[in-house]
Structure formats: C-alpha cells, structure tokens
C-alpha cells in the first residue's frame, strides 16, 4: 500500500526519472508473469513460489496453453492469486497445481479503458488441483463485458475457502453464461462448496455492503446457464449459496448427480429457474433448502 500510495503522488509530475521511483521500490508488489496481447502462447512446466501479487495474469491473449505449472503462494499473501485469466480467448489450463493466497484459478473481464467490450471465451480447465485458496475455480469479481463457454473437468479442490465461486456487483458486472463444471472432487471446504454472489462486497474502506444496491444500474451482473454434474464434496460449511439481486436474478442453474456432505444445506436468494436432479445434501441442520425471492425451483430424483 505504501508503494502504491507513493506512485499516485507522482501523477502530477510531468517528467519522471528512475530516482523518482526509488522510495517505492521496496513496497511494490509486482505480478510475476504478465502477458498482454499475445497470440499462440505455451507455458509448460515452470514452478512459481512466494510471489507478492498475482502469479500468472495473461491479458487479451488468444490461443493460450498453460500446463504442468506448479504454484505455491503463501495462504496469507494478499491478492496472491494463482492463475488469473483476463479477457482471453481459446485457453487451455491443464494439469496445474495451485496453492494461493487469494483465488486459485480465476476468470476475469478486465475493466481497462480499451476500445470495445472485454470478452473471455472458450476456456478449458482440466485435471488441475487447487489446495489453499479463497476459491478453487473462481469467476470475477470483474465481469464487466462478456464471458462464455467455460469448461471445468476432472479437478480436485482440497482445503479451499470455497470450491466454485462466482462473484461480482453492480458497477462492474456483465454477462456470464454457458459455464460447464463436471467431475469435481473436493474435501474440507471452509465455507460454501459452491457460491454465487452478485452483491460481492469488495469495496473501499468506509463503504457499507448495503450501498451496493445504491449504485447506478449500469454494468449489472447477468449470470445464467451454469451446468454442474458429478460433483462430490466431503466436508463444507454450506453446500450451495446463491445470492442474486432483486432486479437481476441469477437464472438457469442446473445441478445433476451431486453428493455434498456439509454443516448446512442449500440457500437461495433472488434466483429463477433452478433445476436439481439427483442432488443429495447430507447435513444435520434443517431445513436443507432455504429460499427467498425465487421463481421456479425443481427438485427431482
């Protein structure tokens, strides 16, 4: 924070020299592997450890393969995300192992001031393992653009805060759809096994979470068409949590062939068209299903 604060103080200086940056040098937290506007990128086999910020953050890249990568960031590393994919297309993340201080493997739509609408599309994540992280597979919180066609298959999440985490809020939301998550094994999840939150409270100091509803109705999150199948969880605080906005419901979520052992069950707020087939939530807390502000939930064997 000290380095970032000092750099902001330099904005009013018209001519900068290397000496101007020296006071901030010891406080900056650079990203490790940052690729911007590249085509046909292969990252195969490196190991990264103890980085102060995002470890890998490709931005606006096309035809990107990340495989056999090992990331070991301290659990207390602030913003120590493992792999953050920002506004990229045609991406494969394969056989990677991540321990992170923030999100493990994350999809973002960056809000940079560039022409056009940011887009992320055609992503495959397969045979990966995420240990400590705020989320194993994460979408957001920047979703201001268009995000679609994301496939997560045969991955394990062990000891993460959440397994699947989809988060955003008004002011930096956009369209996220056609997300397929299947053949997932998880254990010892600290909070929710799966969570959707369009009122994510990642706000500057001094603001209350309730002020999210008071923001202008631009860039409102639009989450729909998520498909979950063959999901198994042994231990979580809560099975599934869905928190939409009253005027922007989370829609068309499909859950099939799932077994989740958790302390509490399924909580849904401001959502529509949810379909649960052969979903078993093992919990001692009743009721298993709690809903508020929903339309059309179907539960079948």
pLDDT 10s digits, 98-125: 999 899 999 999 755 456 678 999 999 9
Give dist(CA 203, CA 172) in Å, integer: 12
Residue 29 has pLDDT above 90, yes or no: no
Tokens representing 150 are 């994301």
Q: 132, 159 in Cβ contact below 8 A?
A: yes
Distance of CA 283 to the CA centre of its chain: 26
Give dist(CA 101, CA 167) in Å, integer: 17
Q: 34, 57 in Cβ contact below 8 A?
A: yes
* CB half-sphere exposure, 70, CA atoms < 13 A: 4
Round the average pLDDT of the chain to a whole number and report it: 89
**pLDDT value of residue 187:** 97
**pLDDT value of residue 298:** 95
Residue 297 has pLDDT above 90, yes or no: yes
Question: How do residues 145-171 score in pLDDT, each as one tens digit?
Answer: 999 999 999 999 999 999 999 999 998
Q: 208 pLDDT band (50/70/90 cuts)?
A: low
Least confident of 52-61, 153-162, 195-204, 227-236: 195-204
Q: Please give the share of the chain, as a percent, with pLDDT higher than 70.
A: 89
**pLDDT value of residue 213:** 47
Place of tokens 């056609």: 178
In terms of Cα–Cα distance, which of 218, 121, 223, 88 is closest to 168? 223
**pLDDT value of residue 215:** 54
Q: 112, 139 in Cβ contact below 8 A?
A: no
Q: Which residues have a Cβ under 8 Å from the Cβ of 230 and sit 6 or more positions away?
A: 182, 183, 184, 256, 257, 258
Q: Does the reported pTM lie above 0.95?
A: no
Domains contained in the chain, CATH given:
1-29 (no CATH), 31-300 (2.160.20.10)
């Amino acid at each position: 924070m000290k380095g970032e604060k000092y750099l902001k103080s330099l904005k009013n200086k018209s001519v900068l020299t290397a000496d101007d940056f020296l006071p901030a040098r010891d406080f900056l937290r650079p990203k490790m592997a940052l690729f911007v506007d590249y085509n046909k990128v292969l990252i195969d086999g490196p190991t990264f450890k103890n980085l102060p910020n995002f470890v890998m953050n490709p931005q606006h890249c096309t035809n990107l393969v990340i495989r056999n990568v090992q990331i070991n960031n301290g659990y207390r590393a602030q913003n120590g995300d493992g792999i953050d994919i920002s506004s990229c297309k045609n991406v494969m993340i394969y056989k990677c192992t991540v321990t992170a201080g923030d999100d493990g493997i994350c999809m973002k739509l960056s809000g940079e001031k560039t022409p056009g609408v940011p887009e992320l599309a055609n992503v495959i994540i397969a045979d990966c393992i995420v240990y400590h992280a705020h989320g194993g597979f994460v979408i957001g919180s920047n979703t201001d653009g268009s995000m679609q066609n994301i496939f997560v298959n045969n991955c394990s999440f062990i000891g993460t805060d959440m397994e699947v985490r989809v988060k955003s809020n008004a002011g930096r939301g956009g369209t996220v759809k056609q997300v397929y998550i299947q053949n997932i094994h998880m254990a010892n999840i600290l909070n929710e096994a799966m969570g959707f939150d369009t009122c994510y409270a990642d706000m500057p100091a001094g603001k209350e979470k309730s002020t999210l509803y008071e923001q202008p109705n631009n860039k409102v999150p639009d989450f729909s068409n998520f498909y979950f199948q063959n999901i198994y969880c042994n231990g979580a605080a809560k099975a599934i949590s869905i928190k939409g906005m009253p005027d922007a419901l989370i829609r068309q979520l499909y859950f099939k062939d799932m077994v989740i052992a958790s302390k509490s069950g399924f909580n849904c707020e401001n959502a529509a068209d949810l379909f649960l087939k052969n979903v078993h939530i093992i919990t001692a807390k009743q009721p298993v299903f709690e809903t508020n502000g929903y339309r059309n939930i179907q539960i079948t064997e």
